[in-house]
Structure 1
Amino acid sequence: MVNTSVSVAYVRGEITVIDYWKAAFPDSAFDEQCCELIEWAEHFRAVVNSGFWRMDALDRLDPFWMHTNGLATVSKLHDFANYERGRNPSSVYAAWLSIAVNLFHGRDHLDSAPWKVLFNARVAEPRLPICTAYSMSPYWTDGCVGRVVVLARDMNLESVFEHALNWLASRGTMQAGWSNDVLHALNS
């Protein structure tokens, strides 16, 4: 998250939006959440970066900015992603942004709606939600297992997710334990 002194300086107008964003969004964002698969981390970084600058470029008379201070911030990215999805629920861009921002904030990035958009558009692969869920499991404990099961069942992708879980299990002992927990819950 953003250093408090950086946020205060930004709100007071002491630093530019560019300096704020450099401090708020590290170059290493998403590295851990993507099973060390750099192309996924780079994609998520590009999506969030693009989303931030789209939000900043949005006319301040737009309804999105109502009841705000009009500053583009990390904390407003979640609202902006929801705003974009609300404007166009089938938008691949908005779906990626929603998932990426939720993952960045450590929130519920396994919400079925945006994943359905991505899978229907054939722009996401099953290993991605499995890897990101595994990386967040220390924070969500057993709840993460249940969320993967719900996601798989909501999208009728149980067998596809099984292959992704077996792939993850092959990456190490800890991954195998978590993958087996999900597979057990998926087949219950």
Structure 2
Amino acid sequence: MEEGSERLRVARVGKPHGIRGEVTVQLFTDQPEDRLAPGSVLICEAGKDTADRTTSTLTVATQRWNKKICLLGFEEIPDRNAAEALRGSVLLADVASHHDEDEGWYSHELEGLSCLTPEGDQLGVVLELVTGPAQDLLLVRTQAGDEVMVPFVEEIVPEIDAVAGQITLTPPEGLFP
């Protein structure tokens, strides 16, 4: 990894598609055409249920869409059996460090931050930032162990202090149990 860069989770490998080694992917990036373009080199880390437990690099050979599902083929994955062994793996890309709050946040920058009310009451901890077609959502685990999806909009998430490790939330009535 180059100095001044960080690894960004861009996708999770799903099931194989066809017999030529293509896989479906769950996207974690809003720039799949750039970050998953043919020729891109990605770091492949095994997921908890992945058959192939090695961490390796994969070079994107093909990217295409089947309706709204992104399909990737890799130079190193020749067939369906090799593709099946990758199922559940996480694909990471090296990107330039990102610190401009006006440009948004990466999921890994928010994971683990405490969520508080403006009065300082603990609401929970961020598990991940879920990117959606209409808007992004914060997945927050409450102290009771429930998972709550919080719309990631300025009215509900007015302040993020990554240095202090906390996010201020003003959730509507009934969002948190």
The answer, yes or no, to whether TM exceeds 0.5 is: no
More helix by share: 1
Alignment TM-score, normalising by the size of structure 1: 0.30
Alignment TM-score, normalising by the size of structure 2: 0.31
More strand by share: 2
- Of structures 1 and 2, the one with the larger relative CO (CA 8 A, separation 6+) is 2
